[in-house]
């Protein structure tokens, strides 16, 4: 393995603000420091952080075009029009479609949903989708998690007498499509106070607005909160502001009253409740995603909407099988890709990684790119062949904008899109070599030498004796954890292994460490090469604290981030 040694850095916090919070919250300065590191400066902000409440959600009508969207939706319901709910094939898209479908079903019988085929139609609103709507007598399409760049498709729909309401959270490229309503907090002309909703979150605001318009109670919103929490987790949006409130209540719903399809899936996966945000990302998310990667994403929507136990169980099995198959593909491709990287002996003189094989499975190349970034700490692109073209998925390291680097070669690209840390692109086969050269040039000119040394940020130093039940009770209230509110990372210095640590399955480090009188176990995934630092020695460790439930019993486990001699 070629893991690079990480540099450890302790995160700072303004001591004056820490002192202020200590005074107003009557809370240990240790926790006040963690709050300040998370951008919390006042009593009011701390109260919202520790006590999320549905009443803190913004008025949905602050979003541009919301009025227009609700008026058009009302008309469709009043005149018995057929409505098509259109969503993308990933987790955010499929949860959105299920949530919106379930909600509107209460008010309107004439509903259908549509998920494009990843391989035949590709990402976003497709012309085929619009034609499908026409053939099925649909006059209103609500697109969720996609549509902000569907200018041609919306025009095409208009000529066929079909209206669009777009719910999206991606950045618009240039113009906004000429839809009846375009709900997207990232529109430059939208003053909505919270910009970081998931696609499913934008759809939720439309549902909220519909109820508000009709003076109806908000109870129907609770039904879909579990789906919303899954979209927030899997779309990697920051867990702050509205997302934090929605994730908090969504996790409650997911853990306390899981819908029958999800309950079946969790049983099939052999996971235990309660689920955290990261449990969703690594547990539920991949199985929902596997439907669109390996076959048809409609399977995922059917599972989420299933009310019959038998149907739910059957679909859960099918999704688990698809995900197992994806794992096998992904494992084989990752090994082959890593071999391509390390085969030339001078690979480490390059600042970027580009690998290609015409037979790799298109559904998993993004995951493989992420694995290459993890291991080699370089911006990475994985290409495969599809319909005579070369398609690629790019992932980046922290602090480097891979989208911009790809844009430098715009004249070579058939198309591309994405954002700072992840992007997709398509090329003609003849241009691959030139693109490779240009990309390496572009990366090496703009990347910072110091960006190539991975940094391990640490929130605070902790002695094992500090980890008490009271400490854990307070730490738990910092959840839900996720982007922009990560689990605090602690460092403990000079801890001792008495010869009980070991390597599991030849790749994971199982830590058994003592500091003073306290002893904890920890797990370091894919950290076997650190075993020699630990084995029977004194060392420093940094970690996050997790509480695992195993057969109903809770226990503390340290999830390792790094160890140092």
Q: What is the pLDDT of residue 216?
A: 97
Q: pLDDT averaged over the chain?
A: 93
Q: Answer with the one of 201, 235, 257 that is the final residue of a domain.
A: 257
Domain-located, residue 1: no
Query: Do 425 and 391 meet the contact criterion of CB atoms below 8 Å apart?
Result: yes
Model confidence at 398, in pLDDT bands (50, 70, 90)?
confident
Domain-located, residue 325: no
My answer on whether 389 and 518 are in the same domain is no
pTM: 0.89
**In the predicted model, is pLDDT for residue 369 greater than 70?**
yes
Q: What is the pLDDT of residue 157?
A: 98
What does each C-alpha distance from 542 to 93, 399, 504 come to in angstroms? 36, 22, 20
* 128 class by beta-carbon count within 10 Å (0-12 exposed, 13-18 middle, 19+ buried): middle
Q: What is the pLDDT of residue 346?
A: 85
My answer on whether 69 and 178 are in the same domain is yes
Domain-located, residue 301: no
**CB-based burial, 104-114: b 16+ in 10 Å, e otherwise:** beeebebbbbb
Query: Do 565 and 509 meet the contact criterion of CB atoms below 8 Å apart?
Result: no
Q: Answer with the one of 398, 421, 452 that is the final residue of a domain.
A: 452
My answer on whether 433 and 487 are in the same domain is no
Q: What is the pLDDT of residue 257?
A: 95
Domain-located, residue 274: no
Q: What is the pLDDT of residue 259?
A: 96
Distance between CA atoms of residues 541 and 280, nearest Å: 27
My answer on whether 548 and 421 are in the same domain is no
| CATH number of 169's domain | 3.90.1640.30
Q: What is the pLDDT of residue 351?
A: 93
**In the predicted model, is pLDDT for residue 2 greater than 60?**
no
3-state secondary structure of 236: coil
**In the predicted model, is pLDDT for residue 419 greater than 80?**
no
Q: What is the pLDDT of residue 1?
A: 42
My answer on whether 415 and 462 are in the same domain is no
Model confidence at 250, in pLDDT bands (50, 70, 90)?
very high
Domain count across the chain: 3
Least confident range from 203-207, 422-426, 488-492: namely 422-426
Q: Answer with the one of 452, 480, 509 that is the final residue of a domain.
A: 452
My answer on whether 350 and 445 are in the same domain is yes
- The fraction of the chain above a pLDDT of 70, given in percent, is 99
Which is more confident, 336 or 535? 336
My answer on whether 439 and 460 are in the same domain is no
Q: What is the pLDDT of residue 455?
A: 87
Distance between CA atoms of residues 66 and 59, nearest Å: 10
Residue 378 lies in domain: 344-452
3-state secondary structure of 457: strand
Instruction: Give mean pLDDT, residues 409-417.
Output: 90
């Amino acid at each position: 393995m070629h893991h690079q040694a990480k540099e450890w850095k302790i995160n700072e916090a303004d001591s004056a603000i820490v002192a202020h919070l200590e005074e107003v919250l009557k809370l240990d300065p240790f926790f006040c420091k963690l709050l300040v590191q998370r951008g919390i400066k006042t009593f009011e902000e701390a109260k919202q952080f520790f006590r999320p409440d549905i009443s803190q959600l913004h008025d949905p009508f602050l979003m541009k075009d919301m009025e227009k969207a609700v008026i058009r939706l009302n008309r469709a319901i009043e005149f018995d029009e057929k409505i098509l709910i259109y969503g993308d094939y990933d987790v955010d898209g499929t949860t959105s479609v299920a949530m919106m479908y379930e909600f509107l079903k209460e008010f309107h019988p004439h509903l259908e949903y549509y998920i494009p085929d990843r391989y035949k139609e590709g990402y976003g609103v497709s012309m085929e989708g619009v034609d499908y709507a026409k053939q099925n007598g649909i006059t209103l399409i609500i697109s969720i998690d996609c549509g902000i760049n569907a200018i041609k498709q919306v025009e095409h729909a208009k000529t066929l007498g079909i209206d669009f309401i777009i719910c999206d959270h991606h950045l618009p490229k240039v113009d906004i499509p000429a839809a009846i309503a375009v709900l997207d907090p990232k529109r430059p002309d939208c003053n909505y106070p919270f910009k970081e909703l998931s696609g499913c979150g934008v759809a939720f605001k439309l549902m909220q607005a519909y109820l508000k318009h009709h003076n109806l109670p908000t109870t129907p919103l609770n039904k879909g909160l579990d789906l919303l929490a899954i979209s927030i987790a899997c779309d990697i949006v920051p867990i702050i502001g509205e997302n934090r409130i929605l994730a908090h209540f969504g996790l409650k719903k997911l853990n306390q009253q899981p819908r029958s399809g999800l309950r079946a899936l969790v049983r099939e996966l052999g996971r235990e409740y309660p689920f955290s945000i990261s449990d969703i990302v690594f547990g539920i998310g991949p199985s929902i995603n596997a439907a669109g990667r390996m076959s048809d994403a409609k399977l995922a929507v059917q599972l989420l909407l299933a009310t019959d136990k038998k149907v739910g169980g059957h679909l859960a099995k099918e999704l688990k099988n698809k995900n197992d198959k994806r794992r096998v593909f992904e494992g084989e491709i990752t090994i082959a890709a890593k071999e391509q990287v390390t085969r030339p002996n001078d690979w480490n003189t390059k600042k970027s990684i580009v690998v290609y094989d015409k037979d790799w499975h298109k559904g998993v190349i993004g995951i493989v790119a992420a694995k290459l970034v993890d291991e080699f700490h370089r911006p990475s692109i994985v290409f495969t062949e599809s319909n005579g073209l070369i398609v690629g998925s790019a992932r980046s390291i922290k602090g480097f904008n891979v989208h911009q680097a790809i844009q430098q070669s715009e004249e070579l690209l058939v198309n591309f899109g994405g954002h700072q840390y992840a992007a997709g692109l398509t090329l003609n086969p003849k241009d691959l070599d030139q693109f490779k050269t240009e990309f390496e040039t572009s990366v090496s000119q703009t990347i910072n030498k110091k960006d190539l040394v991975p940094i391990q940020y640490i929130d605070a130093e902790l002695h094992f004796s500090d980890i008490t039940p009271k400490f854990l009770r307070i730490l738990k209230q910092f959840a839900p954890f996720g982007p922009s509110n990560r689990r605090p990372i602690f460092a403990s210095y000079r801890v001792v292994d008495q010869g009980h640590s070991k390597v599991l399955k030849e790749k994971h480090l199982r830590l058994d460490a003592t500091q003073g009188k306290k002893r904890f176990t920890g797990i370091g995934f894919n950290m076997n090469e650190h075993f020699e630092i630990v084995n029977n020695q004194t060392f420093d460790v940094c970690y996050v604290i997790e509480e695992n439930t195993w057969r109903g019993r809770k226990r503390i486990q340290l999830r390792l981030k790094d160890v140092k001699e």
